Structure 1
Amino acid sequence: MTGKIIDQETHEPIPGVTVASGQQGTSTLADGSFELVTTDAPDSLELRCVGYCTRKIGVGPGNVVMATLAPATTTMHEVVVTASRDMQTRGEVAMAIDKVSAADLNDAKPTLLAEMMNKVPGVATLNYNNEQHGMSIRQPMGTSPYFLYLEDGIPLRPMGVFNHNAMIEMNLLAISGIEVVKGPASSFYGPEAVGGAINFITHRPTAMPTARVGLQFDNFGYRRVQYSAGAMPLKKLGFFVLMISFALLPTSFVFAHHGVDWDCKDIKGHPERAE
């Protein structure tokens, strides 16, 4: 019996799922696929994986199984990869790590990465509107290079390069999760992680062809259309593509302050003195 197990929310393949039937079992590979050899044709399979709800499904003889697993709702034992570069639960990690999940990103619909970073307890991020940002993880706010920014475990900037605008390198809509190490992580990532590390985890190719379309707008003139698609046409070849079209339209208003009239027509909200 063969099949594939995918994430119910992201449609990404789930590696390491235990697929059991009675006393016999196997695990899924990196692409979520499995092959279970049994003496008798099973009528059901039990699917178990750390960070997901255990599920029992019915199967028929000779069927190719395509099943989904829902992420577990508990927050006490979330699965993280940043601490050791391997999947493990937060309870097994000897450091403070917080995680922003794909569900959190979908619910918040952020327009800036700083909006999601500020949802992590102990973390404060200021957006300076000039490609730079101020970061604070359990220490005073500043632009000192105390934090390391990573994409899927790989540093966004080479060592020693000015990095308090490193988040501009990230595409917000390509992120499926964020993991924040709150405290020194130099033993894993070198001296630039002396104050902590932020790992942006990107989307993986989806196990089944998937397409998404989204539209965001507000009363200040912000408009964004986004669409993405992913698939794995071959067993070891997959893709995830993302396209964005957006526009920031200026708003205009006039107000008086201390007898001086200001005409504000700046996209970023900065006042411009009217002549």
Structure 2
Amino acid sequence: MADHQDRSFEELVAEGVAVPTEGWDFSWFEGRATEARPSWGYAVSLAGRLAGARAVLDVQTGGGEVLAFALGRAAGAPALLAATEGWPPNVARATALLRPRGVVVVDSGEDAPLPFADGAFDLVAGRHPVRPHWEEIARVLEPGGTYFAQHVGPGSAFELVEYFLGPRPEAARDTRHPDRERAAAEAAGLEVVDLRAERLRMEFHDIAAVVHFLRKVIWMVPGFTVEAYESRLRALHERIESRGPFVAHSTRHLLEARKTRKTR
């Protein structure tokens, strides 16, 4: 466990601000924050699918860490590997990590059409895409191709979100509901063949972990800065010091869908 109890609020906040936010490597949190992992083991499951695929696209790859892990575990590699990412620091990070593994990283914004031909891939994967663009996913999949992904679910970490922003409307909790995503995937021409959801415990052991998390996962508290939320941060620091870790719960769902018909 980190020695957070011996350090001041100012020191911890400064550390949380100083940590780089590029990529999806969460190893910095070790000893100061925890999150239970879904039972299905997405990255290992993805590794098992790579060897049997011909052409693979990883959408919104972040820093490429999850795809790199899966490739390292896979028994073989597809002939074609591509990944998209839209945030420039992550594009550079993913390119450095994935290009030696034979992956072409394409700079493409999360709201942009996927820059690939119709039916180019037999497997499209994604871990925590901000928004899955179902029509585009269906378009670039070949008939019979598979979308395999882990998504953030509804109301994820809302205990932390509502600590800073106050109670959220019910509609805000429901935007990532797996039933809605099933309906959207089916409307785009995909058949959902597996859909599993879990609610998982999170613990924040010091205020540096909270600061870094909110800087890294920017959609949790939009526009978050230490200056804007200093009083709430200080109160939370005192709460953690006196009562122990701040507990929240993430939600995740595993979704597998198959393209059943020609789209567009």
State the TM-score, normalized to the length of structure 2.
Answer: 0.27
Greater share of strand = 1
Q: Work out which structure has the larger RCO, using CA pairs closer than 8 Å and 6 or more positions apart in sequence.
A: 2
State the TM-score, normalized to the length of structure 1.
Answer: 0.27
Structure ID, larger Rg: 1
Greater share of helix = 2
